[in-house]
Copies of this chain bind each other. A is one copy, B any other.
């Protein structure tokens, strides 16, 4: 069932397994302790960064299937995408698995797109168990979208740092884990930003559009969520979003965060913060799912954002459109279990 752009899932598909894998720099960031695996070097044993990115998706999918305690043959479908031309990290990773494949592209919003489509297919009864994955890599993105790495180009203050990371999760029609209860499918919004080093500004209007659509379609307000978390607007982009939402009568309070803004520590020199498909995907499949499993967060509005930019379009004088899809994630842990969990944690201390 849908209300305008928002699908309300009748059977509330379950995230039964998840896995995250990141680069060494990311491992030293704020979510470091939450990731399943921190790579020792950016090449992950491969001879190119692109091949490393592909291997990260493969590893994340294998990890998520193991975490779900199912067999690879239980998976019906893989939904994946990434930033590289022709989404080669995903398509080439898919060769190694014996399940059907859907390639998606929503730039850094791809993990939300894969969750929205994956949950819809499971909820509608088309498939029983699907796996969603995305990845990004600082070195592949930088040299594809901006400058050769060897150039050591100076980065403007509005720029963000593409996260070297991948995340994968398994969505099923039954089992234990956080549930996907709604998805708001976003529109492509373009307010005319042309600066490829200011993606936060390019994506903020799309985040606003999807967030307002979500609140209106579901008759909710920011207070109805323990956490509202955008993908990779970064410091500047999330400030723009807060302003835009205020202009529209919505006050985003301390329950609003941005994965990109939170990702790195202050001394990691990433300017406006993290970005890339792997940013929100690795945060979801580590920190966020852990907190939902423990019941610390009961209801999260997860809103990865994507800047649909391309060097070809930029060279032809085009502006940068943005897109954002919203996913509502709810904990399956009840209040008694939460108290129990807290007691257990206190005992350990």
Q: Is A250 an interface residue (CB 8 A)?
A: no
Q: Is A5 an interface residue (CB 8 A)?
A: yes
A5 touches B102 (CB 8 A): no
A105 touches B87 (CB 8 A): yes
Q: Is A346 an interface residue (CB 8 A)?
A: no
Chain B proximity of A129: nearest CB distance (Å) = 11
Q: Is A1 an interface residue (CB 8 A)?
A: yes
Known: A124-B126, A185-B77. A50 touches B312 (CB 8 A): yes
Residues on the B chain within 8 Å of A101, using CB? 185-188, 323
Q: Is A67 an interface residue (CB 8 A)?
A: no
- Among residues of B, the one whose C-beta sits closest to the C-beta of A103 is B105
* Partner-binding segment picked from A35-43, A90-98, A237-245, A280-288: A90-98
Q: Is A190 an interface residue (CB 8 A)?
A: yes
Known: A310-B88, A311-B85. A187 touches B100 (CB 8 A): yes
Q: Is A125 an interface residue (CB 8 A)?
A: yes
Interface core residue of A100, A128, A189 (most chain B CB under 10 Å): A100
A1 CA to B95 CA in the complex, in Å?
25
A99 touches B187 (CB 8 A): yes
A187 touches B94 (CB 8 A): yes
Chain B proximity of A345: nearest CB distance (Å) = 39
Known: A103-B113, A117-B117, A312-B84. A318 touches B92 (CB 8 A): yes
Q: Is A104 an interface residue (CB 8 A)?
A: yes
Q: In the complex, how many residues of chain A place their beta carbon closer than 8 angstroms to a beta carbon of chain B? A: 60
Q: Which of B1, B92, B126, B318 is in CB contact (< 8 Å) with A313?
A: B92
Chain B proximity of A220: nearest CB distance (Å) = 18
Chain A 52-84, CB-CB to B under 8 Å as 1, else 0, gives: 000000000000000000000000110001011
A77 CA to B2 CA in the complex, in Å?
11
B312 touches A100 (CB 8 A): no
A98 touches B313 (CB 8 A): no
A92 CA to B321 CA in the complex, in Å?
7
Q: Is A120 an interface residue (CB 8 A)?
A: yes
State the A residues within 8 Å of B (CB).
1-2, 4-5, 7, 48, 50-51, 76-77, 81, 83-88, 91-92, 94-95, 97-107, 113, 116-117, 120-121, 123-128, 144, 185-190, 308-313, 316, 318, 321, 323
24 A-B contacts (beta carbon < 8 Å) = A1-B126, A2-B126, A2-B127, A2-B128, A4-B76, A7-B127, A76-B185, A85-B310, A85-B312, A88-B310, A88-B313, A92-B318, A92-B321, A97-B188, A98-B187, A101-B187, A102-B117, A103-B105, A103-B308, A103-B323, A105-B105, A123-B124, A124-B125, A144-B312
